[in-house]
Chains A and B, each alone.
Chain A
Amino acid sequence: MAQENVLTPSSESAETQLQHAAYDSKVEGNIIFTQVDTAINWMRKNSLWPMPMGLACCAIELMGSASSRFDISRFGAEVMRFSPRQADVMIVAGTVTYKMALAVKRIWDQMPEPKWCIAMGACASSGGMYRSYAVLQGIDNLIPVDVYVSGCPPRPEALLEGLIKLQKKIEEEESALAHFQAKEKAV
């Protein structure tokens, strides 16, 4: 991230302090120069609120990664929101049956932009061992997936690795302006 720390001069005269009355150097300390996009991406990646779409045993590992031993809050993603309106990243954890598929799609559609999706485990990624009439062969048939996490089920570390990968991806996203321009073009 392109950023610079500029310490305020300690030997500031009384006049300059008067000129910058709104700036309280004692409280605010440092100034960081950065780009708007970078700042937005930095805030987004460190406060990903997951929509836990727990559908099978992967959901147990998802719960494990939220508890104290693995502690997903180290990455700012501990605020599991069961309301799609408040969620940023949908973690599809488990077997998506055809009976459930359109419900998952509907919840995905209810999530506000920008949003990301992690397909957690073999079933969500590809149908896994369920080559069957009842199981959707990968959630990417319905919604766009940013990160696939392998495993059956994946260990919590693997999910955290996927989350870090997603953070890296968000870090490099284009500016908000370009994002919405691309959206307009697509529509």
Chain B
Amino acid sequence: MSSATVSAIQSRFPNAVKELIEFRGEETLIVDAASAHEILAFCRDELAFDYLTDISSLDNYETAPRWTMVYELYTLANGANHHLRIKYDVEEGEKATSVSDLWPTAIWHEREVYDMMGIEFVGLEDHRRILMWEGYPFFPLRKDFPLAGRPSEMPDVAFTDRAPLEGGPFVTSPTGASTVHREPRSRDME
């Protein structure tokens, strides 16, 4: 069942699909950033992926490209129960492509990605914060943001301070370096 969907994408975009990962019936397509929007539009219009379950992003800290966008697609029409994950990489400093013109729900997902990771989107006109408040200066889910937080001050709006983290929990980073470097007891970013 699955390969029909995937082979349709592969035959339509032979150069844009970089890799297909299959794991226990789950399919993940790693595609080219430039044609990601085109592929996602094809998935919605031709392959009936009418439901965008989620958008998330990965921080490949200390490796390039820094960001990975992840799109979870699902078919509600005709009870097909198809699930497809599409990923593409975004270099640090570059913008991702908004799919809010394809699925309106993407506006909130992309605002959350912007709020937590600081990735901006071409085509998303609304880059307001969604969880933190307007004016908060950091992007807290980045790997170089300490779990304890950083002090910030917005008069009459909000302030933040560092939380006590003696001993600290494990903070892992997806880097090629050794385990000692990858999983320190606590990571002091200052």
Contacts and interface: CB of A to CB of B under 8 A. Distances in A.
Contacts of B148: 131-133
Contacts of B164: 131, 137
A133 B160 CA distance: 7
Contacts of B149: 132-134
Contacts, number: 43
B161 interface: yes
A133 B158 contact: no
A131 B145 CA distance: 14
A99 B163 contact: no
A43 interface: no
B158 A99 contact: yes
Given A98-B158, A99-B158, A101-B158, A131 B165 contact: yes
A135 to B, nearest CB: 7
Residues of A contacting B: mostly: loop
B132 A99 contact: yes
Interface in A29-74: none
Interface string A124-135: 000100111111
B140 A134 contact: yes
B55 interface: no
A184 B175 CA distance: 61
B182 interface: no
Interface in A53-109: 98-99, 101-102
Interface of A: 98-99, 101-102, 127, 130-137, 141
Interface of B: 132-133, 138, 140, 145-150, 156-161, 163-165
25 contacts: A98-B158, A98-B159, A99-B133, A101-B159, A102-B156, A102-B157, A102-B158, A130-B163, A131-B148, A131-B165, A132-B147, A132-B149, A133-B138, A133-B146, A133-B147, A133-B148, A133-B149, A133-B150, A133-B160, A133-B163, A134-B132, A134-B160, A136-B161, A137-B161, A137-B164
